[in-house]
Amino acid sequence: MAKILIPTPLRQFTAKQNSVTVPGATVGEVLTALTTEYPDLRKQIFNDEGKLRSFVNVYLNDEDIRYLGKDATPAADTDTLSLVPSIAGGTPGGTN
């Protein structure tokens, strides 16, 4: 039963809860359980192919799961998962 911290704009899909606890032995299982219990979250996190959207990073405590075991990373009851977006930008050559 890992804890998942819900980003502010996504709390409308989790009955306004800022964190939820769902079952799962791995990060992949936890994310599946999360979007099964709160199906409106699925579109926010996964694309049509069922893969994490390009801007979504998943952290297990303070570590990006890409540098751990990705979806297969074990998730314990004491672990906290966070959904953190990738954000960047800029202007073409600094001109309008």
Residues 66 and 57: beta-carbon distance below 8 Å: yes
**Residue 87 within binding range of other proteins, rule CB under 8 A:** yes
Radius of gyration of the chain (CA): 15
Place of tokens 């390009």: 54
Instruction: Kindly determine how many residues on this chain lie close enough to bind other proteins according to the rule CB under 8 A.
Output: 28
**Residue 52 within binding range of other proteins, rule CB under 8 A:** no
- Cβ partners under 8 Å of residue 32, min gap 6: 24
> Among 21-29, 32-40, 56-64, 70-78, which window interacts with other proteins (CB under 8 A)?
56-64
Residues engaged in binding other proteins (CB under 8 A): 5, 7-10, 18, 43-44, 53, 55, 57, 59, 62, 64, 82, 84-96
